[in-house]
Structure 1
Amino acid sequence: MPDIQDSVIISKPLEEVFSFAANMDNSTKIMENVVAIEKLTDGPLQVGTKFKETREIRGRQASSIIEFIEFIPNERYVVQSEANGLKVIYYYDFKPTVDGGTKVNFEGDIHTSGFVMKLTKPIIRKILKKEDGDHLSQLKKLLEGHAEEEETTMKD
């Protein structure tokens, strides 16, 4: 069973949702604790693409390397970060809905190694649920909110 999970239906086409979600530059908009993101590898998004993510956690900034370990355009991507005995893997699956929207499923797995990290896993799980547990609802708001703004602009 995953340590964190969520799903959401977004009233936008699959390609648009996947493209926005997989674009790590949008992390600062989707996850409120992410304050900076920097691509470390050249080329298009693919397995092996790495980013440096900086989060603000309890008033301090901490950075980690995020790596794409699976990437199937418009279907699925998986990213992981690993540091100091803590490995976090986030799985994202995208499916079209019958009404032209997109269902996004998210699962997060937390792996610890070392005595101290194993003891603190419940605390780490709680922190990550608080920080990242609702990011799909933020993704939905961003994508569906853009459509409403565009429609309003077009009517003016």
Structure 2
Amino acid sequence: MSFINKTVIIRKPIEEVFDEATNFKNGPEVMDNVIDVEILTEGPVREGFQFKETREIRGRKASAIIEITDYKHNKSYTARSEQNGIDLRYHYSFTETTEGTRVDFEGELITKGLRNTLTKPLIQMIIKKEDEKHLDHLKKHIETVPSE
């Protein structure tokens, strides 16, 4: 079940939007608190592709390995991070419209263990605060990048 849902229209072609959205090196530009992204998998983005994302939260650095678990070029992808009993999945879908590209985002959180299950509402609130505006940042980033 999702705890974050967001949709934006980006005034650029679907190919350009998808390419920028899956250029994970853009993380510091589009995700609050992300300070570094290290690509761990060579080659193009695909299922199984991994990168390490480092965030700074309240003065502390935390890193997570993120894996692409579902990938359909120019259509959708899912990014998954799992650590300490917290399984976070971000689902993105891309649809061409007359105005540009519609990007739909859904965040899903699965907790394991009694402590994480009991604190799930708090965990959701923290994650939502950190990431709920990232599609707005992505839109601004893509719409200000000159087309090739």
What TM-score results when the alignment is normalised by the length of structure 2? 0.95
TM-aligned CA deviation for residue 119 of structure 1: 1.2
Percent identical pairs in the alignment equals 49
1:76 is aligned to 76
More strand by share: 2
SS at match of 2:47: coil
List alignment gaps of at least 5 residues for structure 1.
151-156
TM-aligned CA deviation for residue 146 of structure 1: 2.7
1:67 is aligned to 67
The one-letter code of the counterpart of 1:111 is I
Does residue 127 of the first structure (1) align with residue 126 of the second (2)? Answer: yes
- Deviations 1:12-52 (CA, angstroms, capped at 9, x unpaired): 00000000001110111000211111111222111001111
Runs of 4+ in 1 over 2 A off after TM superposition: none
The one-letter code of the counterpart of 2:76 is R
List alignment gaps of at least 5 residues for structure 2.
none
SS at match of 1:3: strand
* Aligned length, in residue pairs: 147
TM-aligned CA deviation for residue 59 of structure 1: 1.3
User: How do 1:6-155 residues align onto structure 2 when only pairs under 5 Å count?
Assistant: 6-99=6-99, 101-147=100-146
- Deviations 1:71-102 (CA, angstroms, capped at 9, x unpaired): 11100010100000000000000000024x00
What TM-score results when the alignment is normalised by the length of structure 1? 0.91
Whole-Å separation in 2 of the counterparts to 1:138 and 1:112 = 28
Rg larger for: 1
TM-aligned CA deviation for residue 145 of structure 1: 2.2
